[in-house]
Amino acid sequence: MIFTQALIQEPMAVFAYLIAIVGIVFMLATVDYAPLKKFFGYLPPLIWMYFLPMLSTTFGIIPQSSDLYSFLSTYMLPAGLLLLMISTNVPATLKLGGKAVLVFLAGTLGVVIGGPVAFALFQGVLPDEAWRGVGALAGSWIGGSGNMGAMMAAFNTPDDILSPIILTDTLVGIGWMGVMISLANFQDRFNKWNKADNSTIKRINEEIATDVERNAKPLQLPQLFGILAIGFAGSYLIRLFADLSFIPKSDVMNTSTWTFLIITAVGILLSFTKVRKLEYYGASKIGYMGIYLFLTAIGAQANLVDIVQAPQFILMGIVWLAIHVLFIFIAARLLRAPLFFVAVGSQGNIGGTSSAPIVASVFQPALAPVGLLMGILGNVVGTYAALLCGQLAQLIAGG
């Protein structure tokens, strides 16, 4: 690191700093100034939500490790996701059809095959037990950090391998998320080239957005506290329930996986009740607040200086991701799928439940829950697919 100790250490001070970053970026993005509008058109605000904290960690302003980051992951993210789910217009979302799932599964296959191929290419410059890290990273890239934890245990990944793997996951994975966000501005061109029918997606997005706009109401204290109660108390109770001993646990179905699955189920059920009317008071906007803050925490845990300590892992990750991208774009071409399905399918694998809704919201603001559903699908299939990927890497290593 450039500095031995961060300038800002206290969790509340770090929290205030991250909130300031989010606020300043969004305010600049809404300024009626042509150069700024053009700038944020190519590099949307969400990219800066993780890049600026990453720079802040690199230059020693905030720490790379803090209790705040685990708090945002454990409590803020589930609360935000629950609020997104209760705001879901499920009947309209189901009209999207099955292409999104097929594109997602093509991306999963790309991760399973890409891992062993990339490992084979760089095996000569990697440590002896690097294949164990391939299994761990495969878990993260098919479903998210929960699956990564399961694969770390399954493959007994040593610390000296895990550290560069986490760096690769952060830099390459988040870098790809930034690329996908930037591509949102080119979806019409892509869809025209791919002869993809994007009309259904646009119609559903407009249908949901029009419904919310037509019924929007000014936020008042009773509704605000109702939204916060459902988001935070609801997600906390769900997490407690998911951790109970009678809930069957395994490497695959751990507490985190159960928490997200139950949040999805409860959120969808509540979306069919009067609770969904809280969306008219801005429930999903408050949900996004939690997700954006979690995103800043992801960026803060990466340090650009560390790249020089693990270049071979970074290069392996880039090749691996390129194979995933190739598979998912081939599927999109064969299915004539719109770029929106590529985005949510890819992030449902690489980013999981945390980033897939964010990317989905950039492409189609009212369809963030589609991204969450893709992330949940990644949680369900991810551990099994990652086990296969790690075992293939083990065969290549001769272990």
pLDDT in tens, 180-192: 888 888 888 998 9
| H/E run at residue 186 | none
pLDDT in tens, 366-388: 677 677 777 777 776 777 888 89
Enumerate the domain spans of the chain. 67-397
Q: What is the pLDDT of residue 258?
A: 80
* 252, pLDDT greater than 50: no
Cα-based distances in Å from 240 to 80, 178, 237, 249, 265: 17, 34, 5, 14, 16
Q: What is the pLDDT of residue 292?
A: 84
CB 253 within 8 A of CB 383: no
Q: What is the pLDDT of residue 1?
A: 44
CB 171 within 8 A of CB 314: yes
Q: Two tokens at 75?
A: 């409590």
* 207, pLDDT greater than 80: no
* 253, pLDDT greater than 70: no
Q: What is the pLDDT of residue 240?
A: 93
**What is the pLDDT confidence band of residue 80, given thresholds at 50, 70 and 90?**
confident
Cα distance between residue 241 and residue 262, in whole Å: 9
Cα-based distances in Å from 325 to 109, 228, 307: 11, 38, 22
Cα-based distances in Å from 350 to 109, 221, 303, 318, 326: 12, 38, 20, 12, 14
Residue identified by tokens 């961060």 is 6
Task: Give the angle 150-263-386 at the CA atoms, nearest 5°.
Answer: 25
Burial (Cβ within 10 Å: 0-12, 13-18, ≥19) of residue 318: middle
Cα distance between residue 360 and residue 363, in whole Å: 5
**What is the pLDDT confidence band of residue 74, given thresholds at 50, 70 and 90?**
confident
Cα distance between residue 135 and residue 130, in whole Å: 9
Q: Which is nearest to 363 in space by CA: 226, 159, 145, 182?
A: 182
3-state secondary structure string, 217-231?
CCCCHHHHHHHHHHH
The secondary structure of the chain in percent helix, strand, coil, rounded to multiples of 5, reads 80, 0, 20
Q: What is the pLDDT of residue 146?
A: 62
Maximum CA extent, the chain: 63
Cα distance between residue 106 and residue 96, in whole Å: 18
pLDDT in tens, 113-172: 999 999 999 998 888 888 888 988 998 888 776 677 667 777 878 777 877 887 788 778
Cα distance between residue 263 and residue 242, in whole Å: 10
CB 345 within 8 A of CB 375: no
Mean pLDDT of 335-339: 90
Q: Which residues contact 77 (CB under 8 A, 6 or more apart)?
A: 290, 291, 294, 353, 354
Q: Two tokens at 15?
A: 């929290």
Q: Which is nearest to 305 in space by CA: 49, 30, 64?
A: 64
Q: For 376-394, give one letter per residue: b (16+ CB within 10 A) or e.
A: bbbbbbbbebbbbbbbbbb
Cα of 199 vs its chain's centroid, Å: 26
Cα-based distances in Å from 66 to 13, 57, 74, 351: 11, 11, 13, 21
| H/E run at residue 170 | none
